[in-house]
Amino acid sequence: MQDRILKEGLTIWIDMDGKSAKQMGVRYPMGSQNPVGRKKPDYSENADNQSGSIVNSLAHANTIELIGFINEEVRHFPSENADNFRGSVKFDKEGILYYKLVMPFAKLPLRNSKKSNGAMTFALGIEYGLVSTGNKSGNHMSPPPPAISRSARSRGGNSPASRSNSYQPAKKPVLNWIKGIKLATSK
């Protein structure tokens, strides 16, 4: 799980409508397979190759991406911020990955309930293992299925060249929702 988070990223989805919708979220870390500025992920990396991959993936955990925040102009920024979204990932001496993400209260689109009893409840979705490609609007889609040429199909698609240059399907993304979250109105 730790390796997938560092390689494929982790997204915290924020749902204010109770529909478990993935329309607004914070992606951190982006994942070493999803660096900023690259048009499509590098699927040729062998997932079983562990030599330096975790260290390399941890080094890439330095960018936060906002998805669907319409009032934010900047979509990608460094994870070390004092006055904005910020995060950190690190290993302890036992090899356990510690994750921290700070979301400023003022940046969240909280709504007051009609009954005047404070803010409405909301849900957070935690998703990892989704390698995605982005467009300029910050919307993300799963990668397209691999295109297998006719010649690769006739060879069975098992040549070393076809394996290294084609999409290597990862495990299915994992998404868990925490529903009914309500922020405290007093200390």
Best CA proximity match to 90, nearest among 57, 44, 42? 57
Contact 61, 53 (CB under 8 A): no
DSSP state of 147: P
How far is the CA of 9 from the CAs of 27, 70, 86, 109, in angstroms?
7, 22, 15, 24
The CA distance from 106 to 92, in Å, is 32
Region of 85 please: left (phi>0), alpha (psi -120 to 50) or beta: beta
When pLDDT is averaged across residues 56-77 and rounded to a whole number, the result is 86
Which ranges of the chain would DSSP assign to H, the alpha helix? 2-8, 53-59, 150-154, 160-165
Mean pLDDT, rounded, of the chain: 73
pTM attached to this predicted model: 0.69
The residue assigned the tokens 């921290």 is 100
At 109 the pLDDT is 82
For residue 153 the two structure tokens come to 């199909």
Name the percent of the chain lying above pLDDT 90. 32
44-58 per-residue burial string, b: 16 or more CB within 10 A, e: under 16: eeeeeeeeebbeebb
Q: Regarding predicted confidence, which is higher, 168 or 30?
A: 30
For the stretch 103-155, pLDDT in tens is: 988 888 877 766 666 678 899 999 998 765 554 444 444 443 334 334 444 44
At 100 the pLDDT is 95
For the stretch 86-102, pLDDT in tens is: 999 999 999 899 999 99
